[in-house]
Amino acid sequence: MTGFGAADGEVGGGRVSVEVRSVNHRFFSPSIKLPGALQRWEGEVRDAMRRSVTRGHVTLSARFERDEAASGMLPIDEVRFAAYVAQLRGLQERNGLVDNIDVATVLRLPDVFVIGAREELSDDAAPQLVAIVERAVNALLEMRAAEGARLVTYLDERLANIELALDRVAVRAPERVVEQRDRLRNAVKELTDGLAVDETRLAQEIALLADRLDVQEELSRFRAHIDAFRAALASAQPDGVGKRLGFLLQEMLREANTTGSKGNDAAIVADVLLVKEELERIREQVENLE
């Protein structure tokens, strides 16, 4: 699911700004971009993200600014500074932009200050960084929760369309059995051309035919799966509901296929196709739902 969160705070005598973005993905796929001064805590940052997010491609970027940078207490990497200036001027010339590069703009670019020239941050900075990451992730989750609420409404609309189709199949199925029974009787009558017919044997064949065409069990199980699907959407689970919803979708698709195969009727098959289309729409969303 998509979302965005940001937070900032003090870390080891400097200030860290963290931004977290997520887009749809079936699994948890983190991408972490930390400045050099913070890179040794990438594992802690990833663990903090994983504790709260189980699905989605999640990108985290952080910016670190030491308090001394503004007063010039950190040495400047002049080679990197010059490279940035050359690159920016090249972009201006190629794109016809106004030549207006100031020192402050370049100093804000990554790794202009020689962080390695100072003593590394102490281990006490790790929990401070993790706390900022957790606040950013919580903001991300709030946005994702709002999107999730809209998604639940969408899924419920799809389920309602499926239920209407199942209702039509439930009405049509018994009619189909009666039609097939009458067709069989008429076919036997024409073939025997007035000869005596073993009514017991004919009744057995009709019973077998009715059993092959009966889809009530499939419809009953399908509705049970829909009820379970809605219950899962309404209940918060520590590990999320995405996997359970995926399993229920597989079961519903199985019942739909069996119903279409047993129904052997144009009207029933048309409704089964509608059901499968709605299930596919649901599947596309469930893959991204925690």
**290 residues of the chain, pLDDT tens digit each:** 678 999 999 887 788 999 999 887 777 889 999 988 888 899 999 999 998 887 788 999 999 887 654 444 567 788 888 888 888 888 888 887 777 777 888 888 877 776 554 456 778 889 999 999 999 999 998 888 888 888 888 999 999 999 999 999 988 887 776 766 667 666 666 666 666 655 666 566 666 665 666 788 889 999 999 999 999 888 766 556 777 888 999 999 999 998 888 877 788 889 999 999 999 999 988 876 66
Q: Quick one: CATH architecture of 146-286?
A: Up-down Bundle (1.20)
Q: Where in the chain does DSSP place strands (E)?
A: 3-11, 14-23, 28-33, 56-66
Which residues make beta-bridge pairs with 64? 16
Rounded to an integer, what distance in angstroms lies between the CA atom of residue 11 and that of residue 130? Answer: 10
Give the whole-angstrom CA distance, residue 279 versus residue 281: 5
Using CA atoms, how far apart are residues 214 and 217, in angstroms rounded to an integer? 8
pLDDT of residue 70: 46
d(CA 4, CA 206): 62
C-alpha distances (whole Å) from 270 to each of 59, 172, 189, 229, 250 are 43, 12, 32, 24, 20
Give the C-alpha separation, 278 to 163, whole Å. 11
Q: What pLDDT was estimated at residue 122?
A: 79
**What is the edge-to-edge ordering of all strands in the sheet holding 28-33?**
3-11, 14-23, 56-66, 28-33
What is the residue extent of each domain of the chain?
146-286
Could you tell me how far CA 27 lies from the centroid of its own chain?
8
The string over 226-246, giving b where at least 16 C-beta atoms fall within 10 Å of a residue's C-beta and e elsewhere, is bebbeebbeeeeeeebbbbbe
Q: Give me the pLDDT at residue 117, please.
A: 44
Phi-psi sector, 120: left (phi>0), alpha (psi -120 to 50), beta: beta
pLDDT value of residue 211:
60
Tens-place pLDDT, residues 81-127: 888 888 888 888 888 777 777 788 888 887 777 655 445 677 888 99
Tally: H helices and E strands in the chain: 8, 4
Torsion of CA 186, 189, 191, 196, to 10 degrees: 160
Please, what sign has the CA dihedral across residues 264, 265, 271, 273? positive
Closest among 250, 248, 249, 275 to 263, alpha carbons compared:
275
At residue 275, the pLDDT reads 95
Hey, what amino acid is at 274?
L
Helix axes 242-263, 125-192, angle to 10 degrees: 10
Q: Cα 38 to the chain's mean position, in Å?
A: 30
pLDDT value, residue 254:
93
For strands 56-66 and 14-23, give the pairing.
antiparallel
